[in-house]
């Protein structure tokens, strides 16, 4: 693991309560969720727990045997609770960094940087929300469930997975009063072609004021199309390789279509949440 002392306090501009900070957390638990996913629960200091759904942290991953992740790894906030001092990440083990995360054991110290980026908005006239998520995208969208409940919005969550056993977070969505629709690849219910009539039926009932999604470009295109046809706005959380996570290095740009022009924006700073209509 890399050596980042966090005890030295550094001067912070007058009046600025750091919007984000490096902090040492301690692992409460780090448990498998299903085949490929794990849930990491941390004891985190208050200072970093003013989070918004859709924001992320940059995690300094321990080095697994024989591998040497160097850059921090971006992870969406899966859960957070300031009163309880709790911070959660749901992650899929895919490479060196996430293999390193999987080695964390209860009691280990762990350095995180955040919260970072712009979270989801929930505009006042977005009363009926529809969320369409797949795979690790659920980690990013899950905190919307609590936010919707707190703001008294109605939430429908379409959870997509390879097979029914692999859906995640269904209980979490339901515990916040969301209606959950499970679709999967085995019976073909997760294809854009199958989803379209399902969503259109809801739209027809006036049940959809806004979409939220994450990741999959097939879902993005479907929702862009439906959104344009029916005049429904929405937000998408996007991913890109990152170095700094703060906006300094310009590693994480993606292209967006804005007012007829293609422009580049930093996923870590202007995002990771963007209007569905502008995403490419």
Partner 1 sequence: MRDLQTVDLSARVGALTFKNPIMPASGTFSEDLADVFDLDVLGAHVLKTIMHGTRTGNPTPRVCDMQAGMINAIGIPSKGIDYFRDEMLPYWAAFNAPLVVSISAHSVDEFAQLCSEVSLPGVTAIEANISCPNIEADGNAFAMRPDTTHEVVTRLRAATDLPLWAKLTPNTGEPVEVARAAQDAGADALVVANTMLGMSIDIDTRRPRLGNVMGGMSGPAVKPIALRMTYQCARACDIPVIGCGGISTLEDVLEFLIAGASAVQVGTATFQSPTVMARLITELEDWMTSRGLISLDQIINTLEAPNAGVFK
Ligand X SMILES: Cc1cc2nc3c(=O)[nH]c(=O)nc-3n(C[C@H](O)[C@H](O)[C@H](O)COP(=O)(O)OP(=O)(O)OC[C@H]3O[C@@H](n4cnc5c(N)ncnc54)[C@H](O)[C@@H]3O)c2cc1C
Ligand Y SMILES: Cc1cc2nc3c(=O)[nH]c(=O)nc-3n(C[C@H](O)[C@H](O)[C@H](O)COP(=O)(O)O)c2cc1C
Burial of 173 (0-12, 13-18, 19+ CB in 10 A): buried
β-bridge partners, 111 = 24
Q: Does 249 bind ligand Y (CB under 6 A)?
A: yes
Q: How do beta strands 21-34 and 273-275 pair?
A: unpaired
Pairwise CA distance, residues 4 & 207, whole Å? 49
Burial of 22 (0-12, 13-18, 19+ CB in 10 A): middle
Q: Is the Cβ of residue 128 or residue 212 nearer to ligand X in the bound state?
A: 212
Interacting partner of 131 out of its own copies, ligand FES, ligand Y, none (Cβ under 5 to 8 A depending on kind): none
Residue 10 three-state SS: coil
Choices 86-94, 191-199, 225-233, 239-247; region in contact with ligand FES by CB under 6 A: 239-247
Interacting partner of 228 out of its own copies, ligand Y, ligand FES, none (Cβ under 5 to 8 A depending on kind): none
Q: How far is the CB of 15 from partner 1 (least distance, A)?
A: 11
Q: How far is the CB of 264 from ligand FES (least distance, A)?
A: 11
Q: Does 3 bind its own copies (CB under 8 A)?
A: yes
Considering only residues 30, 41, 58, 76, which one is a binding residue for ligand X as defined by CB under 6 A?
Answer: 76
Those residues with Cβ within 8 angstroms of residue 274's Cβ, 6 or more apart along the chain or in another chain: 235, 236, 238, 256, 265
Site for its own copies in 37-96 (CB under 8 A): 65-67
Binding site for ligand Y (CB under 6 A): 243, 249
């Amino acid at each position: 693991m890399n050596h980042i002392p966090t005890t030295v306090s550094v001067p912070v501009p007058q009046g600025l309560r750091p919007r984000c900070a490096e902090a040492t957390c301690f692992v409460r638990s780090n448990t498998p969720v299903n085949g490929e996913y794990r849930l990491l629960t941390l004891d985190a200091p208050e200072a970093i727990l003013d989070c918004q759904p859709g924001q992320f942290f940059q995690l300094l991953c321990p080095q697994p045997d024989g591998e040497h992740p160097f850059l921090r790894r971006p992870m969406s906030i899966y859960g957070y609770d300031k009163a309880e001092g709790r911070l959660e990440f749901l992650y899929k083990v895919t490479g060196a960094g996430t293999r390193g995360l999987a080695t964390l054991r209860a009691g280990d110290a762990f350095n995180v940087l955040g919260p970072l980026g712009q979270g989801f908005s929930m505009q006042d006239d977005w009363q009926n929300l529809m969320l369409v998520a797949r795979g690790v995208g659920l980690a990013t969208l899950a905190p919307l469930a609590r936010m919707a409940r707190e703001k008294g919005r109605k939430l429908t969550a379409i959870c997509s997975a390879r097979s029914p056993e692999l859906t995640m977070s269904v209980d979490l969505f339901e515990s916040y009063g969301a209606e959950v629709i499970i679709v999967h690849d085995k019976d073909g219910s997760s294809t854009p072609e199958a989803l379209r009539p399902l969503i259109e039926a809801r739209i027809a009932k006036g049940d959809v004021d806004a979409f939220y999604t994450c990741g999959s470009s097939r879902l993005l295109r479907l929702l862009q199309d439906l959104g344009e046809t029916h005049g429904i706005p929405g937000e998408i959380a996007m991913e890109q390789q990152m170095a700094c996570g703060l906006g300094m290095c310009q590693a994480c740009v993606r292209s967006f279509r804005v007012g007829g022009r293609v422009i580049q924006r930093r996923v870590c700073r202007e995002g990771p949440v963007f209007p569905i209509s502008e995403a490419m």
